[in-house]
Amino acid sequence: MRISVSSDMDEPVARALLGQLRDRGHDVVTFGALSAGDDPQWAACTEAAAREVAAGNADQAVVCCWTGTGASIAANKVPGVRAALCTDAYTADGARRWNDANVLVLGLRLTSEPLLKEILDAWFAAEASEDSEDRENVARVDRLDSGRSAL
Ligand SMILES: O=C(CO)[C@H](O)[C@H](O)COP(=O)(O)O
């Protein structure tokens, strides 16, 4: 897949993220502190990476900031983006399976490299389930995306 990646900080775990994505065979495009000369401010670089997904230039994005909160807020402002802040593998699995999330958000402060691997393993392994309850969850997301009530 083509994956856009942003971080407002050039932290070891953000560099590890790039390495793990490339090791998995993904084509990575970088924004913010991971890209020389780019705007490293968290709102700007997150929006830039998320817009790549919305525009169809990237299949998914991984966006990072220190807490993950600002990146979550900024990414979810972009129409068509469903960003999920994932702190563990279970959350990453559910975000793909139940919410059809297309942007993974990571908090640099709390994500160790072993945890990063677990989260990425779960994120990329999860597939849309045929379970009726799971399908209903994705339908709720579709209603939110279309601007209709999710109720
Ligand atoms: O976690 C963040 C936003 O949610 C930022 O990474 C944190 O606030 C640091 O940003 P700055 O260096 O621009 O103050």
Catalogue all structural domains in the chain, each as residue range(s) with its CATH number.
2-145 (3.40.1400.10)
Residue closest via CA to ligand 1's atom 9 equals 66
In the prediction, which pLDDT does 151 show? 67
Mean pLDDT of the chain: 94
Rounded to the nearest 5 degrees, what angle is found at the Cα of 76, between the Cα atoms of 70 and 81?
Answer: 140
Instruction: Point out the least confidently predicted range of 6-10, 30-34, 91-95, 134-138.
Output: 134-138
> Can you list the pairs that 97-100 forms with residues at least 24 positions away whose Cβ atoms lie under 8 Å?
97/126, 97/127, 97/128, 97/129, 97/134, 97/137, 98/134, 98/137, 98/138, 99/137, 99/138, 99/141, 100/128, 100/138, 100/141, 100/142
What is the Å distance from ligand 1's center to 66 Cα?
6
In the prediction, which pLDDT does 131 show? 77
With 80 as the cut, is the pLDDT of residue 148 above it?
no
pTM for this structure?
0.94
**Nearest Cα to Cα of residue 108 among 4, 8, 30:** 8
pLDDT tens for each residue of 135-145: 788 788 788 77
With 70 as the cut, is the pLDDT of residue 1 above it?
yes
Ligand 1 pocket test: pick from 13, 34, 66, 110 the residue with the most ligand atoms within 8 Å of its Cβ.
66
Rounded to an integer, the average pLDDT of 30-43 is 97
